[in-house]
């Protein structure tokens, strides 16, 4: 049996969706918001490891103490470029959840930095023990910093500047007021 030929419909074809050539709104996280969303969770992670190293019996083998400089190295080597890249890549996506999930992924990348301490013994097992809390903390830090983010809409800015120009044009100049 053969396949019947498709029938042509009388309905009009829809045009392909074309993107607007104009500028799109973007979300901007200032320096203070970025520091809060990156440095705050990293400091909490370091403080947590430092506090755990003082618990008797938990750091007998010396596994936790060397992790503090590794977390700092991960924060500088992975955290700074990762969070800045996320902010730049998703600047036109206004969905906050997308930004938070991207920060979680950057935090998860803190885990593989533990392999710089060596691949022997328990070090590979520390990847999820460092990566998951770091991911959750970075995501929470981005969520907390959300009130510091601003949305810049170029269309609104253009309309505001145009209305300001119109108002300035309506006001009498100094020469006009002196002539009266």
Cβ atoms of 37 and 162 closer than 8 Å? no
Q: What is the pLDDT of residue 139?
A: 95
157: tokens are 């800015």
Cβ neighbourhood burial of 88 (10 Å; 0-12, 13-18, 19+): exposed
Lowest average pLDDT, out of 78-82, 86-90, 108-112, 164-168, goes to: 164-168
The tens digit of pLDDT for each residue in 26-82 reads 999 999 999 999 999 999 988 888 888 788 877 666 667 777 888 888 899 999 999
The tens digit of pLDDT for each residue in 105-151 reads 999 998 888 887 777 766 777 788 888 999 999 999 999 999 999 99
Domain residue spans of the chain? 26-151
User: pTM for the full model?
Assistant: 0.73
């Amino acid at each position: 049996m053969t396949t019947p030929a498709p029938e042509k419909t009388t309905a009009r074809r829809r045009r392909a969706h074309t993107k607007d050539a104009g500028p799109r709104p973007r979300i901007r996280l200032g320096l203070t918001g970025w520091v809060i969303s990156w440095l705050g969770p990293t400091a909490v992670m370091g403080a947590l490891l430092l506090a755990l190293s003082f618990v008797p019996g938990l750091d007998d083998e010396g596994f936790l103490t060397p992790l503090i400089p590794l977390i700092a190295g991960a924060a500088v080597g992975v955290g700074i470029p990762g969070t800045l890249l996320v902010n730049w890549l998703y600047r036109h996506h206004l969905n906050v959840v997308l930004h938070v999930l991207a920060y979680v992924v950057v935090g998860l990348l803190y885990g593989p930095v533990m392999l710089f301490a060596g691949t022997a013994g328990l070090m590979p097992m520390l990847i999820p023990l460092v990566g998951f809390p770091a991911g959750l903390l970075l995501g929470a830090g981005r969520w907390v910093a959300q009130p510091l983010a601003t949305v810049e809409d170029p269309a609104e800015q253009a309309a505001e500047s145009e209305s300001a120009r119109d108002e300035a044009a309506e006001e009498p100049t100094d020469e006009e007021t002196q002539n009266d």
